[in-house]
Amino acid sequence: MSSKFLINIVLILTAVIFFSLIFIKNHHILLDAYSKSRMNNEKILMAFSESPSSNLGEVALYCLMEPRTERLISDAYEEKMPQGFLLMARPYLIQVKKQAEEVMDTQISKRELLSSAFSYSPDLTFIVQFLLSFFAIVLTFNAVSAEKENGTLRLVFSNSFKSAHFILAKYVSAFITICLPLLLGLILSLILLAALSMTPFYSSLVLNFLSFLIISLLYLSIFILIGILCSIIGHSSKMSLVLSLLSWIFLVIIIPKSSGMLLSLKRFDVPAEEEIRELLFKAIDATNARMNKQIAENSVKGFDEDRKKEMKLKLNYERDKSAQDLFDFYLRKKLSAIKTIRAINYVSPASIFEFSASSIAGTGLSHFENLWQQTRQYGNDFVSFLKDNISTLKKGSYFYPNSDSISNKPIDFNGIPKFEDKKLKLGERMRDALPYIYLLLFYNLFIFIFVLYKFQKYDVR
């Protein structure tokens, strides 16, 4: 019940309340926007169901990220990432929707996608990553050095007392002390969610919070051990404080927040947005030229109309597929560049904790990639629905969603596939988080062994 502890617990609980209130307010706004987007999709599909052929060109559906309460655990910079995709049935293309623009058919540039992954966001991960880790350092920076300065360390070891027991006692006491504000903060955030955002305590959300508690304790344990290690190395409380603060600044701020500078040192071979657009136009123009040439040749050969129509549909498909493949290729390279930067950050426990928290919450990069896969699958399902239900082509003919190849007969609205942003299952999210959890465990074990080794040689006099 020291003043140092009371100040920290008040500061942390205040931050939890403040961040939770901001999140709940923004969450309501995002839910309203998401609901309007879904209603707009339903209007488009309703008009399409009434007159498929004449309204096919207007089918441009927004496949957006669904706002989730798990973002309170870890926003993972999701608010600055692309918010979803625009799916067009004719031509069949998927394009990125940027949050900052009202125009839905724009793509995101390399600089925007990568730089947005290295900025602050108000969530529980931020509180643990910065405030609680700093609290852990403050608790333990003089755990050994203060005992030596006060003469109590020499008194303790004047009896038959094992070094491992002393270090373990210091570690466990600090660990229990750090658990209290964290546990109170998580309980408080759940209560605020239930009271102000009308979010029920469903099992998946509670399990997410419990999982977040576990990885948070693993992360904070590292800084407890670092504080004890600095206390041993520093010999005096002042020197221990300097070493502890420098370690915290280097591991929590410098490494995670300066990784974006590596983009200027390493080439990821990812062109900018304008270059990708130019490549897309070239690919489309090349396919169009080949299509016109083949159509002209077929006219000379005297093919029947059905054969000409089928070949035209096939060439249209190849044109769109070449553009889509090119876009997908470079989007994968952009995502790969972010993952490369992540791998570099594995030397920082703060970055590892951040990645594991977003994996457990199912937010950020994993949410975006999952949304991309779902959008691609939905596009395939939608085109398959057209082919199986309203295609005017004879069986075996090559299908392409074109007003000339589908019937204008009304169809059942309820039978049309609808897009839904489905969550990854908890087991899948845990599997994604496991490599990061193993790294946190490894850092804990390594630092703990090193602390014991250094203390064995420590002069307690």
- What are the DSSP E strand ranges found in 348-434? none
Q: How many CA atoms lie within 13 A of 427 on its CB side?
A: 0
Q: What is the pLDDT of residues 397-416, one digit of tens each?
A: 788 888 878 889 999 999 99
Using only the alpha carbons of the chain, give its radius of gyration: 29
Output the pLDDT for position 113: 37
Cα–Cα–Cα angle for 372, 375, 377, rounded to 5 degrees: 110
How many whole angstroms separate alpha carbon 54 and alpha carbon 403? 7
How many whole angstroms separate alpha carbon 306 and alpha carbon 55? 24
Domain contains 30: yes
How many whole angstroms separate alpha carbon 356 and alpha carbon 351? 9
Domain contains 17: yes
How many whole angstroms separate alpha carbon 361 and alpha carbon 372? 18
Cα–Cα–Cα angle for 118, 123, 129, rounded to 5 degrees: 65
Output the pLDDT for position 50: 94
Q: What is the pLDDT of residues 113-138, one digit of tens each?
A: 333 333 345 789 999 999 999 999 99
Domain that holds residue 242: 1-290+322-371+420-461
Q: What letter represents residue 456's amino acid?
A: Q
How many whole angstroms separate alpha carbon 36 and alpha carbon 62? 11
Q: Taking a C-beta distance cutoff of 8 angstroms, is the pair 62, 41 a contact?
A: yes
Q: Which run of H or E residues covers position 275?
A: helix 273-301
Token couple for 399:
């299908």
- Write the CA distances from 244 to 100, 103, 458, integer angstroms: 40, 48, 18
Domain contains 208: yes
- Report pTM: 0.85
Domain contains 168: yes
Q: What is the pLDDT of residues 243-272, one digit of tens each?
A: 999 999 999 998 887 765 655 455 556 666
Residue ranges of the chain whose pLDDT lies below 70: 1, 90-93, 95, 97-121, 198-201, 259-273, 298-304, 460
Q: Which run of H or E residues covers position 378?
A: helix 365-389
Residue with tokens 């707009």: 40
Output the pLDDT for position 405: 84
Task: State how many domains the chain has.
Answer: 1
Q: What is the pLDDT of residues 153-178, one digit of tens each?
A: 888 877 777 888 889 999 999 999 99
- Give backbone dihedrals phi and psi of 62, rounded to 5 degrees, phi first: -90, 115
Domain contains 337: yes
Strand partners, 86: 62, 95
Output the pLDDT for position 163: 83
Domain contains 390: no
Q: How many CA atoms lie within 13 A of 16 on its CB side?
A: 22
Quick one: how far is CA 430 from the chain centroid? 14
Strand partners, 93: 88
Coil, strand, or helix at residue 401?
coil
Q: Taking a C-beta distance cutoff of 8 angstroms, is the pair 74, 43 a contact?
A: no
Q: Which strands sit side by side in the sheet containing 84-89, from one edge to the other?
A: 60-64, 84-89, 92-97
What is the SS3 assignment for 150-166? HCHHHHHCCCCCCHHHH
Residue with tokens 């669904």: 66
Domain contains 262: yes
Q: Taking a C-beta distance cutoff of 8 angstroms, is the pair 177, 5 a contact?
A: yes
- Write the CA distances from 252 to 8, 130, 421, integer angstroms: 18, 7, 33
Q: Taking a C-beta distance cutoff of 8 angstroms, is the pair 371, 94 a contact?
A: no
Residues in contact with 336: Cβ distance below 8 Å, sequence separation at least 6, in sequence order: 268
Residue with tokens 């002069």: 459
